[in-house]
Amino acid sequence: MKKTIRLILGDQLNINHSWFQTSYDSVTYVLMEIRSETDYATHHIQKVIGIFTAMRAFAKELKARNHDVIYIQLNDINNEQSFDKNLESLITQHQFTSFEYQLPDEFRVDEIVKNFCKSLSITTDAVDSEHFFTTRTELGDFFEGKKTFVMESFYRAMRKKHRVLMEGNNPINGQWNFDSENRKKLPKNHKPTSPLVFNNDVSVVANEIRQTNIKTIGNVEVKNFVWPINRVQSLELLDFFVNECLPLFGSYQDAMMPNEWSLYHSRISFSMNVKMISPQEVIEKATSEWRKRPDEIAYNQLEGFVRQIIGWREYMRGIYWLKMPEYASLNYFDNQGKLPDWYWTGDTKMNCLKDAIHQTLEFGYAHHIQRLMIMGNFALLAGVHPDEIGAWYLGVYMDAIEWVEITNTLGMSQYADGGIVGTKPYVSSASYIDKMSNYCGSCYYKKAVKTGDKACPFNSLYWNFYDKNEDKLGKNPRIGMMYNVWRKMQSESKVALLKQADYYLKNINNL
Ligand code: FAD
Ligand code: DLZ
Ligand code: SF4
């Protein structure tokens, strides 16, 4: 008789997958908490707790639906701590005649599972994870023969193909992208909506993790774990977002405010990345809310949100599968710097970095513009090696799974891919940060000062970056204006800026 074992990875918690629609006596599912996955990066403690708790809730749900489930906990004595070793033991022990898995999202795990299949004498099969709008190869096919990978054209094609925000063959309201309306700073006394947080008690899982020597970072409140840990809570968070945050999502998408850790962002990336909810249902929910409340939710708010999901998220996944594994070692600027120590503590006098890193350690979360224009911006200006900053991003965020982390870090943020994802590096001096945030007013450093005592480090590092990389960026039409300013600057000013940058780079751990 055929006996099948099906592997479910920690980021494959999709209860609506066709696998689970019928229960068969001959099929057993396995989920495992293993050291190979807790240790390939130094994860935030909340990420490990969140994934384990969500995996346990998922296993319970499967059992309640009459599926046969084997769940290997971290401290089980028979846990061999890797996918292949545990699977091998189970296959021998239970005499399974067939092994099946859903296509992993991470290249590393994909290789492990493929190699494992090669080692087996029983039948094997891989199925789609039924989560994304696109297949692994769809973006590659779309851009076949093209020299550039412009996200906007991919986004439009996705909108057409999946009939999202379309009126016949045209985009609703006659325009594809309303980004120009989405760059507002928060008014000074604005009090953003308080974020919905959950008060999950995760003390049991947290204790089990603490009993091991797994190295983690960040803090956690084990009686009040803020993240959704099952589908019901994920849907609750989505409801909260569309009710409370969507009306201002686009307007303040790029805004930053001290001590306000999520503003009008959805915080559904963790739920989506482990597949407790799908991008389709997120878009449908947001769109139907907009249809119900057109007077409260302006179209630009909705379009901005939809673009992040059917546009950027699918685009990053496509780039990942097109360019891996080479992508992981790209370093266009040949940056070799070390990550400043304070990235792991938040112990810096730079207010923007202090605030954004502290909230990262406290919640395992920072919103997009903090990741891009505060932490990413500084790392690039400081010439940090992409592997160093990559390991940081892969560890510190709840939603950090490599396919979406590495493309954002090496591509969008560090320009380490030389322009596959972005058309120019995302760097700025203090003026942009001040324009979009309320950080600078209470900072030790002075935003308008470029050299000398208390000069904001972003200012001199910014010009130093352009100077150092002129051979690679000087001809880029999108930054020609900056080079014109630099070339016309008086030579004493240039020398002073470069000297200041050099001083800061030499004292980077004391900033
Ligand atoms: P919202 O602002 O509410 O946006 C809604 C959703 O859109 C997100 O949940 C996410 O699924 C999607 N989205 C938005 N921007 C992007 C993007 N650039 N790429 C892919 N999806 C996007 N996102 C991750 O999911 N995991 C990561 O590890 C990750 N690392 C990043 C590293 C850097 C350096 C940068 C600049 C961005 C990174 N992002 C990552 C993208 C983005 O910052 C997060 O998806 C977002 O902040 C998650 O918070 P949210 O759910 O509140 O998003
Ligand atoms: C991130 C993570 C962690 C910390 N632990 C586990 C685990 O113990 N078991 C598991 O199946 N998955 C875990 N994950 C998520 C995996 O790393 C993820 O499944 C792969 O990155 C594939 O995308
Ligand atoms: Fe950041 Fe400079 Fe502003 Fe301080 S002055 S908050 S370091 S940009």
Q: Ligand 1 pocket, 414 CB below 6 A?
A: no
For the segment 16-38, the average pLDDT, to the nearest whole number, is: 95
For the segment 127-132, the average pLDDT, to the nearest whole number, is: 98
Tell me the CA end-to-end span of the chain in Å, nearest whole number: 67
Q: Ligand 1 pocket, 356 CB below 6 A?
A: no
| Cα–Cα nearest to 362, from 197, 189, 232 | 197
Predicted confidence band of residue 25 (pLDDT cuts 50, 70, 90) = confident
Question: Residue 439 C-alpha to ligand 3 middle, in angstroms?
Answer: 6
Q: Are 318 and 327 in contact (CB under 8 A)?
A: no
* Residue 68 φ then ψ, to 5°: -90, 120
Question: Residue 341 C-alpha to ligand 2 middle, in angstroms?
Answer: 27
For the segment 31-38, the average pLDDT, to the nearest whole number, is: 98
Q: Are 83 and 113 in contact (CB under 8 A)?
A: yes
Helical axes 457-468 vs 480-488, angle rounded to 10°: 100
Look up residue 355 and give its two tokens.
Answer: 């605030």
The residue whose CB lies within 8 Å of the most ligand 1 atoms, and thus the one to mutate among 256, 408, 417, 428, is: 408
Q: Are 478 and 423 in contact (CB under 8 A)?
A: yes
- pLDDT for 422 equals 94
pLDDT digits (tens, 9 = 90+) for 251-310: 999 999 999 999 999 999 999 999 999 999 999 999 999 999 999 999 999 999 999 999
- pLDDT for 188 equals 85
Q: Is pLDDT at 1 greater than 90 in this prediction? A: no
pLDDT digits (tens, 9 = 90+) for 68-80: 999 999 999 999 9
Q: Whose CA is nearest to atom 5 of ligand 3?
A: 447
The residue whose CB lies within 8 Å of the most ligand 3 atoms, and thus the one to mutate among 256, 342, 352, is: 352
- Residue-wise burial string across 71-82, b where 16 or more C-beta atoms lie within 10 A, e elsewhere: bbebeeeebbbb
The residue whose CB lies within 8 Å of the most ligand 2 atoms, and thus the one to mutate among 34, 39, 42, 51, is: 51
Q: Is pLDDT at 163 greater than 90 in this prediction? A: yes
Question: Residue 368 C-alpha to ligand 1 middle, in angstroms?
Answer: 6
Residues 6+ apart with CB under 8 A from 107: 320, 324, 325, 328, 402, 403
For the segment 378-389, the average pLDDT, to the nearest whole number, is: 98
- pLDDT for 320 equals 98
For the segment 131-159, the average pLDDT, to the nearest whole number, is: 97
Q: Is pLDDT at 82 greater than 90 in this prediction? A: yes
Q: Ligand 3 pocket, 439 CB below 6 A?
A: yes
Atom of ligand 1 nearest to the CA of 366: 47
Q: Whose CA is nearest to atom 14 of ligand 1?
A: 308
Place of tokens 């061999």: 80
Question: Residue 401 C-alpha to ligand 2 middle, in angstroms?
Answer: 8
- pLDDT for 24 equals 85
Question: Residue 275 C-alpha to ligand 2 middle, in angstroms?
Answer: 12
pLDDT digits (tens, 9 = 90+) for 177-226: 998 888 899 998 899 999 999 999 999 999 999 999 899 999 999 999 99
Helical axes 279-292 vs 231-240, angle rounded to 10°: 30
For the segment 413-429, the average pLDDT, to the nearest whole number, is: 96
pLDDT digits (tens, 9 = 90+) for 330-377: 999 999 999 999 999 999 999 999 999 999 999 999 999 999 999 999
Q: Are 285 and 121 in contact (CB under 8 A)?
A: no
- pLDDT for 179 equals 87
Average pLDDT over the chain reads 97
Question: Residue 185 C-alpha to ligand 2 middle, in angstroms?
Answer: 37
- pLDDT for 183 equals 82
- Residue-wise burial string across 267-291, b where 16 or more C-beta atoms lie within 10 A, e elsewhere: bbbbbbbbbbbbbbebbebbbebbe
Query: Is the dihedral angle over the CA atoms 471, 474, 476, 482 positive or is it negative?
Result: positive
- pLDDT for 413 equals 98
Q: Ligand 1 pocket, 312 CB below 6 A?
A: yes
Q: Is pLDDT at 104 greater than 90 in this prediction? A: yes
The residue type found at 280 is Q
Q: Ligand 1 pocket, 368 CB below 6 A?
A: yes
Centre a 10 Å sphere on the Cβ of residue 185 and count the other Cβ atoms it contains.
Answer: 17
Q: Is pLDDT at 418 greater than 90 in this prediction? A: yes
